[in-house]
Structure formats: structure tokens, C-alpha cells
Amino acid sequence: MEPFRVHILGCGSALPTLRHNATSQVVEVRGKLFMVDCGEGTQVQLRRSHIRFTRLRAIFISHLHGDHCFGLIGMISTFGLLGRTAPLQIYAPVDLQPILQQQIDFFCTGLEFDIDFHPVDTTQRNIIYEDKSLTVETLPLEHRIACCGFLFKEKPLLPHIRRDMIDFYGISLSQINNIKQGADGVGRDGLPIPNARLVQPATPARSYAYCSDTRYMPQLHQEVKGANLLYHEATYGSESEGRARMYYHSTAAQAAQVAAAAKVGQLMLGHYSARYDNEKVLLNEAKTIFPNTILAQEGLVINV
């Protein structure tokens, strides 16, 4: 199976700490790398994770709070120093475009690559990126400013060829692609062979839902239903539920409620408040509702 992984570069919240970096992740799908949010210090974390800067195809910014985007101009500058020539795709709320362009004009003159900015409507669920194997959709969230999450979803895969049956019936290799697309085969004797005898069901397509800063949304489970992996912010524990509501954040228990209602495969918590010296209290809180929960940690690489 082709790799589908999430690399955690940072999982802290706005206040810097010595334990966590600001939010950033790299989603790896079938050899393609996409960055989700780019907080301060992301470049150093890329180095530590041994991820090559030049392999990043696109950067998705969930919202314009500094702990999610202050690292972006530094990253662009480094791309220039490394001699990048491939275009860089940036998907972000529209208000970032003039700010970013001003920074580029001042700090990054002479870049040898194009920056293609794609304004994102954070209020609508839309497909904003698509290639032959993947789509990325926006997930509208409720935060103090315009904010959305992202759903990375593989396109349906083709069925697996049954090599034993191909050999048994003497099916020519030239028919394989058509058989994968649903056509019947023709055996060595010229007789048709039903497609169902020649294939096995495709591997189920995988999906990863990234839900950045948001207060609890009871309806959110409908948007992330059945995801293999859900990242949901868990800035606070339940003892601070009032604070979470005030600042448009979520508790670990609320994140777990979304995961349980959505019947996701696994929940990953992140965006921890600096008040917690040990996030195990958040993990335990979530596990009472959704047992298959883990904590995001810098350096963690998780298979979807």
C-alpha cells in the first residue's frame, strides 16, 4: 500500500513553550508532501524530521493567527536560498495575500519560483486541491476569525488483479488495465471470463481530517464521518470548558465526542495550552469517551 502519513512538526498553541513548537504538520500521500499550517520554528522542525524542503508541493493555512502562519515567510525565503524552481501552491484565507506579497517584495526579491496563491472560502466546504489520486476539501470551523480545517481524501482505488486467475484462464497482459476498470476478460480459448472472477475488492480509500482551532461544533462529526484519522484541537481540559467557549477553543472531551459521533478510526489531540506541563490529563479525559485516542507530539509520524 502506498504511504499515507502525518508528520507532526508542532502541536502547541499560541504561547511559546520549551516543550512544544507552534502548529505545523506535513501530510505525505503517495510520495507527495503537503504542509498544513506553518507556525514559527517550522523550518527547524523540518530539519529535525529529515523532510526535504524542496519536496513540499503546497502549503495549507487554516487561519491567520500567528502560531499558524508566522513561519511562512521564512520558509519561502529558505526555498529561495535552496534554489527552488518548482511553483509553490499556497491555500489560505484571502486576507493573507496582500500581507504575504508585501513581505515577499521586501524580504524575498529575486525568487526563481512562482508562488501561486489560492484564496480559500472558510465558510464553505469545497474541494480546493485535486490530483489523480487525492482531493483536499475545506472544513468550516468556528473560531474568533475566519478558520477552516482540511480533509485529505484518497480517490477510490482500483480493484486488485487476481494473478492466479489471470494465469489459470490465460488472460493476456494487454487486458489488465481494462479488467481493473471493470471489463470482462477473454481467456486463451476466446471465451469471456466474468470480471468478478479476475479481481479482488480494492483497498478502501483513506482519509485524514485536520480540525484546527475551533470551539466545539456538535455538527462537525457529519463533516469528518468515517475518517481514518482525525486531528482535533484540545487546547483545554474540561475544567476550563468556560474558557474554551470564550476563546473559541475545544476541550479534550469535546474532541472525543466529535470522534465518537463521527466513528473515526483514531483521534489525535493537539494545540495544547501552555498551562499543561503534562498532556496526559487531556489524553485520559478523551479516552473515557473515545478510547482510540493519542497525543500529537513533535517528531511523531503516524500512518493513516
β-pairing, 293-295 vs 266-270, is parallel
How many CB atoms lie under 10 A from the CB of residue 99? 14
Give the CA distances from residue 29 to residues 3, 32, 79, in Å, rounded to whole numbers and listed in that order.
Answer: 6, 5, 21
220 to 31, 229, 248: CA distances (angstroms): 29, 14, 14
Give the DSSP per-residue string, 84-112. --S-EEEEEETTHHHHHHHHHHHH-TT-S
Which residue among the candidates 37, 67, 131, 167 is catalytic per the annotation? 67
C-alpha 149/C-alpha 214 separation (Å) is: 9
CA 36 – CA 9 distance, rounded (Å): 10
105 belongs to the catalytic site: no
Active-site residue list: 67
